[in-house]
């Protein structure tokens, strides 16, 4: 009797790509809860719109590419892209903004490069940057976190109907917006940091790095720790990024003068720092491959984030930093292969080739 | 307790070892026939020493080792040789290979055999010879002839006994240690004695075998045991796959890494499987060759899983039957463990020396792998790789067949443990890609070696042809210059002759002598070429012979060096060396052939009519020139006795003869458009001049003689 012959190994770990993707989705939950608590259902709407768009685009492209649709949809990678982009967009962004960004991410950034596993750039960040450059007004319209006391009554998240109207009917969002702490800090002119913190409600009412936003970052940090504990990724890239950012902040910290670039804590708990460190920088497809490589990749992202935050035109810089380092990932790979068992040096891939 | 080190990566698959450890070690009923492949080891297959119809006894040699890296095969039971033919063997391809088939007679009668009373009184060489003659190979899976590993040229300070058994399901070594620990320790003592009692003897064992460890500890504590060697240290370390890989075990126990392309012996380490030590004990202390082993039969498709002491050659179907195997439950039967074993194409294949496990799992136990998804570079493979490679990079480059990059990523250091495939969340069969790529690289390297050889041969051939062309051109040039010089001289001579014939006669003698000398020098120069060639060939024969001897020595040294279970690099090295021996032999033969061809050439040229071969090669023409010169010299001697007039007359006759010959050659050269045309033209011109001069001289002697240069004028017209 002829028996089927498969190649060894004949046993397999139960972890699958779907499982990994689901873990990432699960880990976004704390961040999502805090965002919703602060800004209402805007982020949920973003995620919903983005997810539907992503699945439709993915299915359409798979059909065009004559690939099994169900098989690829079940890897949840499109969903992860959609959720990450939905989290990154300002809550209550108009629906077409989300649709445009997601469609661009899935169709152009992912499938035109060969689909799952072949994209050199992080699709969610490509979608984000395309929107940021094309629609800067909508992309900078962040809501005031619920509970923030400004001149009038305390800010409250728009209710359900208002949210729907803003997203789908194009109603004005102006009454609800406020500068994010990063934005506010960037526009500090002439005040010492301590004075500035006192005078600006975003900081005066916060604990470490701006009212509301510090909790967003802490929530994403928790999600990241969960992923680390489940060994979905190693610590190298996220810790690298946080270290790069911290070291830059440390070296540029001047004790809080009027031209200060902000403290370490400010940078770590502001904007997209934690979200980026644990959900964007850790995207394995577009990062370097070895542990050393991933650490360097992370550090460089942290450094670039600081540079753009401090001297660039944008208040935050995660998407740009990630995309720039996506370019550099293959280059890093050439110089950071691990030392193979039985070899005295790790060398570089290029030099190894020349030796052979 | 010795210090232990950690290895990079590793995985913790479900162990599934308890199923086969419920009962004692079981015997297997004698099968009707035993199938013994001639190649159950790494190296040259054994060659049969029995023929069909022969009666053999248990333990009788039926196939002898052939060469240094080889192992003999013995009859596992008494019976009759029923066939020596191709049978299905345990190989993933389902291939057939030569086997000796024994119909057992049921008596199981032993051949006469004797034990060594006190192995400590034997020399290492004697013991190694017994181990080799007993057909013992590494029983851990690789099947490398054990005797080869026991003859290291390096000094050995550490003997490592591999009792790791890190693959899930397999418990053969565990069971062996539990039940025969005292014998194992004697086997280890024998090994220690052979290796000159190394400083350290370590048994490496995972912490999931406490019973086996206890049994070993108990046997070690037994002071009555007849052991004299160094202290044996049982080293426990945490269970992790693939700790049992030779390189990994060495790292765990010594903290050292076997350098890429080197052997453990280069670190002063010899590593042997614990099952092998038991086989060595049986061979030395009982005189029994390797005819049985312990094999685990397990998996949910067997209702009586366990460990079986089974005769080598027992059909797998027979062994499975003993374990209550249900074929309908088992989609895939694996020989070896789930990580590195291979799926058996049929149950008709026999158990061989390296068969440590038959794994008959149900579809539930080992579900078929879902189709592979895209690699997302998650890097889990790199995290678990014990060789610290970047498996996902290897995968990308294997897919794109970028062999250069694959080698830059050290594909050759992959031990194919399967940890990367095991963890891959996208279910990519990574190891299969590496195996395929390694095979392709091996083929490419072989082809490259062959084409390199061919290219070098071609280049040398081209160089020879070019050198010959250059030599020819140089000769032509020299002849042309000589001819011109001679012509110029002849003209001045002719002038002198016309004024003073007597002086002319004398001068002519000297000028003739000059020409002869010049010609002789030329001939000598030309002649040197074939001689040189001969010398060159002889030199080539000498050097190639020396090279051949050196290569053979190196090969022998390599063979002696051999002493690992994981010997892929080593084998490759040996193959390479073998190839270079073959190459050296070829070169040697080539050189000999060339010399023979040269000799034959020269012989045939001497036999052939010179005129026929005038344009074929320079060498025969040179020979002819040499004889012509000899003739001329003889004539000159005769001339000395003649009167001046006679001399002149004879000279003229000769010249005329030569002229007609030269004209004939010239005509031939013209018709064939030979590159010697010019030379022949010059020769005719010179001869014409000479004849003219001779005529003038003769005229001086005899005025009545009519000028006889009609022919010459004609020939001049033709020019």
pLDDT tens track of chain A, all 356 residues?
Answer: 455 567 888 888 888 999 999 999 999 999 999 999 988 898 999 999 999 999 999 999 999 999 888 888 888 999 999 999 999 999 989 999 999 999 999 999 999 999 888 999 999 999 999 999 999 988 888 888 877 777 667 777 788 888 888 888 877 777 777 778 888 888 777 778 777 787 777 777 777 777 888 899 999 999 999 999 999 999 999 999 999 999 999 998 877 777 778 888 888 998 899 999 999 999 999 999 999 999 999 999 999 999 999 888 888 889 999 999 999 999 999 999 999 998 888 777 766 655 44
On whether both A154 and A225 belong to a single domain, the answer is no
Give per-residue pLDDT as tens, B86-137: 999 988 778 899 999 999 999 999 999 888 888 889 999 999 999 999 999 9
On whether both A331 and A226 belong to a single domain, the answer is yes
* Separation of CA B161 from chain center: 31
On whether both A43 and A155 belong to a single domain, the answer is yes
Expressed in angstroms, the distance from the first to the final Cα of chain B is 104
What does the longest C-alpha to C-alpha distance in chain A come to?
86
Pick B334's closest partner by Cβ from A10, A333, A344: A10
Q: Order of strands across the sheet with B26-27?
A: B26-27, B306-311, B292-298, B357-361, B332-335, B342-343
Asked if residue A209 belongs to a domain, the reply is: yes
On whether both A155 and A194 belong to a single domain, the answer is no
Contact by Cβ (8 Å): B83, B62: no
On whether both A25 and A148 belong to a single domain, the answer is yes
Contact by Cβ (8 Å): A280, A85: no
Q: What's the CA gap between B72 and B40, in Å, rounded?
A: 9
Asked if residue B535 belongs to a domain, the reply is: no
pLDDT at position B547: 84
Distance from CA of B386 to the nearest CA of A (A): 8
> Cβ of B13 and A10 within 8 Å?
no
On whether both B252 and B279 belong to a single domain, the answer is yes
Pick A4's closest partner by Cβ from B332, B413, B422: B332
Given B440, B475, B491, which residue is the final one in a domain? B440
> Cβ of B343 and A333 within 8 Å?
no
Asked if residue A74 belongs to a domain, the reply is: yes
Asked if residue A78 belongs to a domain, the reply is: yes
On whether both B313 and B340 belong to a single domain, the answer is yes
Tally of CB atoms within 10 A around B671 = 8
Judged by DSSP in three states, B353 sits in coil
On whether both A268 and A208 belong to a single domain, the answer is yes
> Cβ of A1 and B388 within 8 Å?
no
Interface test with B, best of A74, A342, A349 (most B CBs within 10 A): A342
Distance from CA of B261 to the nearest CA of A (A): 8
What domain range includes position B300?
Answer: 18-361
On whether both B395 and B353 belong to a single domain, the answer is no
On whether both B350 and B395 belong to a single domain, the answer is no
Beta partners for residue B159, in sequence order = B201, B270
On whether both B297 and B354 belong to a single domain, the answer is yes
Buried b vs exposed e over B46-79: b needs ≥16 C-beta within 10 Å?
bebebeeebebbbbbbbbebeebbbbbbbbbbbb
Judged by DSSP in three states, A84 sits in helix
On whether both B330 and B228 belong to a single domain, the answer is yes
Mean pLDDT, rounded, of chain B: 84
Helix and strand element counts for chain B (H, E) = 18, 17
What domain range includes position A277?
Answer: 180-335
On whether both A41 and A158 belong to a single domain, the answer is yes
Asked if residue B614 belongs to a domain, the reply is: no
Give per-residue pLDDT as tens, B497-530: 666 555 544 555 555 566 666 666 665 655 556 6
Contacts of B362 in chain A (CB under 8 A): none
Residue B158 CB burial class (10 angstroms; 0-12, 13-18, ≥19): buried
| Dihedral sign for Cα atoms in the order A321, A323, A324, A328 | positive
On whether both B300 and B408 belong to a single domain, the answer is no
> Cβ of A11 and B339 within 8 Å?
yes
Contacts of A15 in chain B (CB under 8 A): 380, 423, 425
Q: How many domains does chain B have?
A: 3
Beta partners for residue B325, in sequence order = B302
Q: How many domains does chain A have?
A: 2
Mean pLDDT, rounded, of chain A: 88
Contacts of A118 in chain B (CB under 8 A): 374
Asked if residue B574 belongs to a domain, the reply is: no
How crowded is the C-beta side of B457, counted as CA atoms within 13 Å? 12
Asked if residue B107 belongs to a domain, the reply is: yes
> Cβ of A352 and B388 within 8 Å?
no
Contact by Cβ (8 Å): A167, A42: yes
Given B419, B440, B461, which residue is the final one in a domain? B440
Contact by Cβ (8 Å): A69, A191: no
Asked if residue A346 belongs to a domain, the reply is: no
On whether both B411 and B283 belong to a single domain, the answer is no
> Cβ of B404 and A75 within 8 Å?
no
Asked if residue B499 belongs to a domain, the reply is: no
Can you tell me which residue has the tokens 């850790």? A282
Asked if residue B152 belongs to a domain, the reply is: yes
Q: Is the Cβ of B94 closer than 8 Å to some Cβ of chain A?
A: yes
DSSP secondary structure string for all residues of A279-294: IITT-STTS-SSHHHH
Q: What pTM was estimated for this model as a whole?
A: 0.73
Asked if residue A8 belongs to a domain, the reply is: no
On whether both A39 and A91 belong to a single domain, the answer is yes
On whether both B267 and B401 belong to a single domain, the answer is no
ipTM at complex level: 0.88
Q: Is the Cβ of B390 closer than 8 Å to some Cβ of chain A?
A: yes
Q: What's the CA gap between A81 and A122, in Å, rounded?
A: 9
Q: A–B: how many Cβ contacts below 8 A?
A: 183
On whether both A81 and A202 belong to a single domain, the answer is no
Given B409, B440, B471, which residue is the final one in a domain? B440
On whether both B242 and B293 belong to a single domain, the answer is yes
Asked if residue A136 belongs to a domain, the reply is: yes
Asked if residue B548 belongs to a domain, the reply is: no
Tokens of B556: 């022998």
On whether both A154 and A259 belong to a single domain, the answer is no
Given A161, A178, A195, which residue is the final one in a domain? A178
Tally of CB atoms within 10 A around B467 = 12
Asked if residue B4 belongs to a domain, the reply is: no
On whether both B182 and B46 belong to a single domain, the answer is yes
On whether both B388 and B349 belong to a single domain, the answer is no
């Amino acid at each position: 009797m002829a028996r089927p012959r498969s190649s060894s190994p004949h046993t397999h770990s139960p972890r699958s790509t779907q499982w990994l993707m689901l873990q990432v989705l699960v880990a976004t939950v704390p961040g999502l809860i805090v965002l919703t608590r602060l800004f209402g259902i805007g982020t949920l709407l973003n995620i919903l719109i983005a997810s539907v768009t992503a699945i439709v685009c993915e299915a359409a492209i798979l059909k065009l590419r004559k690939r099994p649709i169900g098989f690829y949809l079940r890897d949840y990678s499109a969903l992860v892209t959609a959720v990450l982009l939905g989290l990154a967009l300002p809550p209550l962004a108009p629906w077409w903004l989300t649709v445009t960004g997601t469609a661009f991410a899935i169709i152009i950034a992912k499938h035109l490069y060969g689909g799952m596993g072949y994209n050199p750039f992080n699709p969610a960040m490509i979608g984000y940057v395309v929107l940021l450059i094309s629609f800067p007004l909508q992309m900078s319209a962040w809501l005031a976190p619920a509970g923030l006391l400004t001149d009038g009554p305390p800010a409250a998240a728009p209710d359900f109907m208002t949210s729907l109207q803003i997203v789908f009917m194009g109603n004005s969002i102006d009454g609800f917006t406020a500068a994010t702490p990063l934005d506010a800090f960037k526009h500090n002119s002439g005040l010492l940091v301590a004075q500035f913190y006192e005078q600006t409600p975003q900081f005066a009412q916060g604990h470490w790095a701006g009212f509301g936003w510090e909790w967003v970052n802490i929530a994403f940090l928790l999600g990241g720790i969960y992923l680390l504990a489940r060994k979905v990724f190693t610590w190298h890239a996220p810790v690298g990024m946080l270290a790069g950012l911290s070291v830059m902040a440390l070296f540029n910290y001047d004790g809080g003068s009027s031209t200060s670039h902000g403290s370490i804590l400010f940078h770590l708990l502001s904007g997209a720092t934690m979200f980026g460190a644990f959900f964007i920088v850790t995207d394995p497809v577009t990062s370097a491959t070895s542990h050393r490589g991933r650490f360097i990749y992370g550090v460089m992202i942290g450094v670039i984030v600081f540079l753009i935050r401090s001297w660039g035109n944008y208040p935050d810089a995660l998407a740009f930093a990630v995309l720039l380092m996506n370019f550099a990932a293959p280059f890093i790979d050439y110089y950071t292969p691990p030392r193979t068992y039985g070899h005295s040096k790790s060398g570089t891939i290029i030099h190894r080739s020349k030796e052979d | 307790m010795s210090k232990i080190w950690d290895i990079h990566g590793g995985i913790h698959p479900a162990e599934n070892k308890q199923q086969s450890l419920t009962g004692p070690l079981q015997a297997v009923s004698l099968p009707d026939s035993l199938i013994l492949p001639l190649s159950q080891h790494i190296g040259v297959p054994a060659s049969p020493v029995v023929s069909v119809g022969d009666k053999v006894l248990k333990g009788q040699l039926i196939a002898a080792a052939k060469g240094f890296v080889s192992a003999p095969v013995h009859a596992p039971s008494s019976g009759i040789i029923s066939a020596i033919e191709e049978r299905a063997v345990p190989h993933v391809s389902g291939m057939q290979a030569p086997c000796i088939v024994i119909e057992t007679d049921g008596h199981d009668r032993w051949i006469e055999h004797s034990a060594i009373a006190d192995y400590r009184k034997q020399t290492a060489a004697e013991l190694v010879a017994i181990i080799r003659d007993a057909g013992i190979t590494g029983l851990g899976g690789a099947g490398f002839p054990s005797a080869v590993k026991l003859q290291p040229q390096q000094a050995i300070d550490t003997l490592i006994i591999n009792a790791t058994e890190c693959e899930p399901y397999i418990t053969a070594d565990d069971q062996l240690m539990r039940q025969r620990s005292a014998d194992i320790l004697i086997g280890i003592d024998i090994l220690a004695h052979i290796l000159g009692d190394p400083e350290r003897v370590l048994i490496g064992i995972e912490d999931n075998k406490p019973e086996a460890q206890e049994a070993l500890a108990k046997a070690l504590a037994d002071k009555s045991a007849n052991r004299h060697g160094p202290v044996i240290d049982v080293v426990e370390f945490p269970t992790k796959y693939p700790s049992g890989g030779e390189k990994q075990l060495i790292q765990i126990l010594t903290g050292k890494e076997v350098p890429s392309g080197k052997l453990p012996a280069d670190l002063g380490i010899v590593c042997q499987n614990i099952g092998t030590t038991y086989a060595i004990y049986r061979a030395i202390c009982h005189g029994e060759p390797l005819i049985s082993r312990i094999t685990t039969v397990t998996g949910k498709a067997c209702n009586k899983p366990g460990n079986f002491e089974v005769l080598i050659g027992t059909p797998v179907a027979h062994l499975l039957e003993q374990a209550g195997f249900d074929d309908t439950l088992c989609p895939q039967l694996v020989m070896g463990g789930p990580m590195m074993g291979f799926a058996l194409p049929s149950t008709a294949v026999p158990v061989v020396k390296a068969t440590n496990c038959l794994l008959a799992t149900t579809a539930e136990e080992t579900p078929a792998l879902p189709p592979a998804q895209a690699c997302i570079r998650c890097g889990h493979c790199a995290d678990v790789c014990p060789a610290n490679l970047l498996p996902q990079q290897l995968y990308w480059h294997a897919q794109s067949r970028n062999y250069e990059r694959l080698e830059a990523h050290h594909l050759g250091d992959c031990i194919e443990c399967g940890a990367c495939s095991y963890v891959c969340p996208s279910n990519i069969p990574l190891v299969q890609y590496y195996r395929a790529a390694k095979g392709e690289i091996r083929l490419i390297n072989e082809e490259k070696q062959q084409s390199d050889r061919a290219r070098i041969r071609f280049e040398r051939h081209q160089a020879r042809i070019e050198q010959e062309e250059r030599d020819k051109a140089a000769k032509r040039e020299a002849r042309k210059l000589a001819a011109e010089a001679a012509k110029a001289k002849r003209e001045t001579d002719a002038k002198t002759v016309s004024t003073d014939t007597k002086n002319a006669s004398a001068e002519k003698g000297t000028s003739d002598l000059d020409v002869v000398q010049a010609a002789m020098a030329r001939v000598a120069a030309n002649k040197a070429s074939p001689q040189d060639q001969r010398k060159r060939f002889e030199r080539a024969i000498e050097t190639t012979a020396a090279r051949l001897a050196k290569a053979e020595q190196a090969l022998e040294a390599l063979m002696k060096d051999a002493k690992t279970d994981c010997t892929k690099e080593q084998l490759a090295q040996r193959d390479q060396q073998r190839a270079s021996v073959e190459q050296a032999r070829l070169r040697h033969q080539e050189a000999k052939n060339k010399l023979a061809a040269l000799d034959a050439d020269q012989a045939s040229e001497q036999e052939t009519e010179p005129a026929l071969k005038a344009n074929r090669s320079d060498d025969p023409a040179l020979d002819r020139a040499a004889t012509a010169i000899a003739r001329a010299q003889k004539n000159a001697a005769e001339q000395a006795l003649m009167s001046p007039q006679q001399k002149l007359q004879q000279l003229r006759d000769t010249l005329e003869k030569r002229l007609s010959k030269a004209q004939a050659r010239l005509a031939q050269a013209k018709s064939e458009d030979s590159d010697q045309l010019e030379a022949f033209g010059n020769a005719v011109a010179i001869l014409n001049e000479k004849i003219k001069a001779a005529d003038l001289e003769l005229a001086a002697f005899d005025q009545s003689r009519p000028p006889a240069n009609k022919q010459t004028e004609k020939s001049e017209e033709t020019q």
